[in-house]
Every structure is written in structure tokens, then in C-alpha cells.
Structure 1
């Protein structure tokens, strides 16, 4: 009986530690997006999470380590949500590629528009990497991982649309990421400036992305 209790204790402690890390990252996600990494304090993150500094430093060596762990987590969760949304609008069997592409692009524009804090985190990471050569390699790995996940998403979409990409899929993915990032930046700046929202169907960005996808795809005859 005693051995069973002893064996369960590390499991309970591991789960408690995982929950603590998740709450700290959830709090940091908000604080970093609001204040930036340099301006955000460990105290502010702990206060938002409801933990002490001791709990923070028993899980992360520094604010920067927390930021890196958070960024890695958000790549997975954000792209998972995007993939689920894309699958929801894909037909059960491949159909008219043009209609499917338009619907997926429309859905993705709406999705990225609701992920303002994620975009701020990515932009913050990029700025840190450009200013600090020690961070740059980590950002390159992060960016490559993000791009790989987008490639997986694109392959899912083209399969459902009865299309296939022509050309370098990594380059196509980076181009689409840049286009969607530009849209998110415009939406963020419009919100800050108090400008009215623009419907995705009427935006030049929507037309540009749809046109680009048609340019780099062809019907999959296999």
C-alpha cells in the first residue's frame, strides 16, 4: 500500500507542475502581448497567474525561457486551431477548387484577425532576434517550425480542394504567411486607429491571397 502511494506521488507532483507551467504561460501570453518582453516583469506575470516568484523560478530560469516555451506552445495550439477550422469548411470529397479556396481563405482571414495577441508575440520574437544575435538562431528554428506546420495545413487544404501545389511548397508557405501577417497588422492598426472593419470578401488582401493560391496550384488529376 505504501509503495502504491509513493509511486503515485511523483505523478501528482508532475501534473501539478504541468498545470503551474501552463498557468504561468497563459498569464505571460497576455502580459507579453500587452507590454512586450522587455517591459513585462516577472512580478506582473506572477500576479496575473496567481503565483509567487518562487513558483515562477521553480519552473523557469528566466523570463526569456518562459517566452521561448510559450512561443513553442502557441505554434502548436494556433496551427491546430487553424487546421481544425480549415477541415470544417472542406467538402467531404474534392470539389470545385475555386470555391473551396475562397472559403478557406475567408475562414483563415477571420481566424487570424481574432489572434491579435499571437501576432504580437510573433512580432516581438522577430524583433528580439533582430536585436540579439544569441536569440536569432532560436527564432530561425521557431520560424522553420511554424512554416512546416503551415505546409501541413496547405497540403490538407489542397487535398480537400482537389488541387496540388506547383513549385517550392516551403516558399509558397512563407509567402502566404507574409500575406496573412500583413492582414493581421492592418487589422491591428485599424483597431488602434478606430477605423471600421473591412469585410474579408471586399478586401484587396482577400483577392490577393485567392489569386496567389490559384497561381501556385493546379487541378490534381491523380
Structure 2
């Protein structure tokens, strides 16, 4: 019985993962409006039936894709926070470097976030979804900040909710501007790390 129930679930996870990957590529290349279910299915190597057995619409796929990518990145950051030994962090800039590491931005595409914001400006339903998504990010970042302050001698000059919102806004603005300027992913990562270090230095006392 286990094989019968688990195998379809694993196949569904594999199908969804391939659709997410294909959708990320298509949305980044042509935007959400120009993207079609057929384009995504062709890129993933699936039929429309496979698509609609996993997602009700292109909008739902887009929202789930953004959420999936964001959660994966924040999960990675949370793991990095828990891996820091007490006393290992000497200054705020080092804190950012230790937590972000070399992979910041690897799980997100600034173009996709910009596309979500554009759709939210046009469609009240997407606006509601965007605000819920954005608030969810801030909530996760606040949790990470709380973990840092609980595990290490870190003092904030703002409350955790205020610091979380500021960090998310700075990261969002940096990624969007980098996308508009045509920066590469590596350039975007470096710029983001630099700006986050600057703001954390202003926000945090260590020791």
C-alpha cells in the first residue's frame, strides 16, 4: 500500500518541480502577460492535462512559484543563522556575510518579483496576493532576526518588525534596480550584499 500511495505523490512533486523550473524561465524571458500555458508545458515537456492537474491557472502557478522560491531562500538563510556559533560574529558586516554567504539571490529572480508587482498594480486579486506574499516574507525575516538576537549578543536600534520591513524593502529595491540596469546575477548578489551590510551596520550593535 505504501508504494501505491507514495509513488503518485513523488511523481506529482517531480511534475510540479519541472513546471516551476520551466515557468521561471518563461516568465523571466517574456513576462507573465506574454507567457502561455502552452509555452510552459512545451518547456517542461508536459501536456496541458499535466499542467491543469497541478494548477488551476497561470496566475496560480505564478504565485506558487514566487512563494516557493522565496521560502527556499529564507529556509537557507535560517539554516545559516542556526549554524553560527556563539561569539563567532565580530561585527555587523561579518554577520551579513556569514548569513548571506555566496548564494544570496540564487533562488530568486528580480524580474519575477517585478512582474508580480506589475500584475498587482493592474489586478485587485493579484494585489491582494502580492500583499499577502510580501507580508509573509517580512514575517519570516522577523523570525530570523528574532533567532539571531536570541542566540547572539546582538542589539537592534529598531524593533524586529521594523528592521524586517526595512531589510525586505532594501533588498527588493536593490534587486529591482539591478534588473532595470541590466546587472548580471553575480553583480546583483554583490550589490545586494553591500547594501545589506550598510543597513545592518546602521541597525545593529554586537557585543
Please give the TM-score of this superposition, normalised by the length of structure 2: 0.81
5+ long unaligned stretches in structure 1: none
2:86 maps to 93
TM-score, length basis structure 1: 0.76
Give the Å deviation of 1:73.
1.4
Distance 1:57 1:46 in 2: 10
* 1:38 Cα deviation from its structure 2 partner: 1.0
List per-residue Cα deviations over 1:1-33 (Å, max 9, x = no partner): xxx4xx642332222122211211121122212
Structure number, greater radius of gyration: 1
1:173 and 2:164 equivalent? yes
Q: Is 2:92 the partner of 1:125?
A: no
Change (3 A) 1:82 1:34: farther
Cα displacement string for residues 156-195 of structure 1 (whole angstroms, at most 9, x for unaligned residues): 33344411335432221111111222333344345x268x
RMSD: 3.1
Unaligned runs of 5+ in 2: none
Q: Is the 8 A contact 1:46 1:52 kept in 2?
A: yes
Counterpart Cα distance in 2 of 1:175 and 1:206? 10
Runs of 4+ in 1 over 6 A off after TM superposition: none
* Residue in structure 1 matched with residue 130 of structure 2 by the alignment: 139
In structure 1, the partner of 2:68 is 73
Q: Matches of residues 155-166 of structure 1 in structure 2 within 5 Å?
A: 155-166=146-157
Instruction: Provide the aligned length of Structure 1 versus Structure 2.
Output: 204
**Which moved further from structure 2: 179-188 or 33-42?**
179-188
Does the 8 Å contact 2:69/2:108 carry over to 1?
no
Q: CA deviation at 1:150?
A: 0.7
In structure 2, the residue matched to 1:112 is: 104
| C-alpha distance in structure 2 between counterparts of 1:207 and 1:54, whole Å | 47
The structure 1 residue matched to 2:44, chosen from 44, 49, 54, is 49
